[in-house]
Copies of this chain bind each other. A is one copy, B any other.
Amino acid sequence: MALTDPGMAAPPLSLEHLPTPTGLVDLPRLQANCLRMAERADRLGVRLRPHVKTHKTAEVARLQLAGRATSITVSTLAEARFFAERGFADVLYAVPITPQRLPAALELARRLERFTLTLDHPRVAAAAAEAAASADLRLGVMLEVDCGAHRCGVDPASPEAVALAAQVAASPRLELRGLLTHAGHAYACPSLAEVAAVAGQEREVTVTLARALRQAGVGVGEVSVGSTPTICAVDHLTGVDEVRPGNYVFFDAFQAAMGSCGLEECAFTVLTTVVGCYPERRTLVVDAGALALSKDAGPTHLDPHCGFGVVCGAADCSPLPGLHLASLTQEHGTVRARTPQVAAAFPPGARLRIIPNHSCLAAACFDVYHVVDGDRVLDLWRPCRGW
């Protein structure tokens, strides 16, 4: 396809000319999502350091930051290098670093205006200090705190949390830039009120530990929190310095089910073609399978029968409630139709669009995104891939 040649400017092709499955970014929706979150961060009085793992493109990160900063959050060192090459000067790597990755972190610390790593273990802190000393550098560190998600982070109520913060702060080779947390458990909440409660906990736990550390004479720098649902739900962020939401650029069916957005705000969709039409068994099969949508099961705690994405019309991307994406195999999506007549309306070759359950994982299925406005293809964006 000439259109996928990295060297060429994309002509204004229309959706119907694209092969499928194809990952589409709706530019007006994306721009609105970016603007709304930037305004929200302003209103909450915090710096927006967006997590770029959702899209992994310089183009979207620039829209997120609107030229005001180059501060981003990444989930892999491949992302850190990718964005460093594209002019992003202030990069936070928000996954606990391993000893094996310290040489790469030192390289990034040399290269970037500001590179910050994350850790939550005294052995890693010691290894980081030693590596920084042998490179004659100083490494910026965020200490990860578990605010209830029970994934990474120190227990903020434990003496180990205070000891580790003191260890980092005392090292001449480390700079304790702050405390970092992520309320991943917000995704399991049954209602917006509970998301708001988790958001309050995310803030409270981290601000309280920062205060205690400061009172104990440990300079902790800033407090960094955030996920898309908690930032959408929180009422205030007193004591917090920065937020790191990521998913909001695209949103997805999961966020819509949680109430973080409406389906009409979802900016990443997968264009697909009907390959099988079986009205007698009220079934369509489309060419968007697990390799185009991911097998994320979606918000099953809110709706056990939510399926694997929301089926929409190809042209206007409006949901088609008569079609339900019931299952995915590698290259097939099986869609149940409300009636035989609904199925018969989509013969082989018909086009549909799917709002994925989880846009971060669905976007990662594509080496290029086709950027669209209505049915016009405006541009091609190439994300970072791998580790």
Contacts and interface: CB of A to CB of B under 8 A. Distances in A.
Contacts of A123: 347-348
A330 B21 contact: no
Interface in A96-155: 96-100, 120-121, 123-124, 146, 150-153, 155
Given A276-B120, A348-B121, A329 B294 contact: no
Contacts of A287: 95, 98, 387
12 contacts: A20-B100, A21-B387, A75-B330, A96-B275, A121-B276, A121-B347, A146-B278, A150-B281, A150-B283, A152-B285, A155-B281, A290-B296
A151 B21 contact: no
**Which 4 A-B pairs give the minimum distances between C-beta atoms?**
A99-B349, A152-B276, A295-B295, A96-B275
A235 interface: no
A224 B118 CA distance: 54
Interface residues of A, number: 57
A41 interface: no
Interface string A249-289: 00000000000000000000000011111101101010100
A359 B19 CA distance: 26
Interface in A2-21: 19-21
Contacts of A98: 273-275, 287, 348-349
Given A291-B364, A387-B21, A285 B347 contact: no
A76 B331 contact: yes
Nearest to A289: B75
Nearest to A75: B331
Interface string A321-349: 00000000111101000000000000111
Given A53-B330, A151-B329, A277-B121, A295 B361 contact: yes
A305 interface: no
Nearest to A327: B151
A152 B332 contact: yes
Nearest to A144: B276
Q: Which of A146, A281, A349 has the most CB of B within 10 A?
A: A349
Nearest to A277: B121
A42 interface: no
A75 B347 CA distance: 20
Nearest to A123: B347
A360 interface: yes
A166 interface: no
A188 B297 CA distance: 17
Given A123-B348, A124-B348, 7 more contacts: A19-B387, A20-B100, A75-B331, A100-B349, A150-B283, A152-B276, A152-B285
A364 B290 CA distance: 10
B275 A95 contact: yes
Given A75-B331, A296-B295, A290 B349 contact: no
A291 B56 CA distance: 13
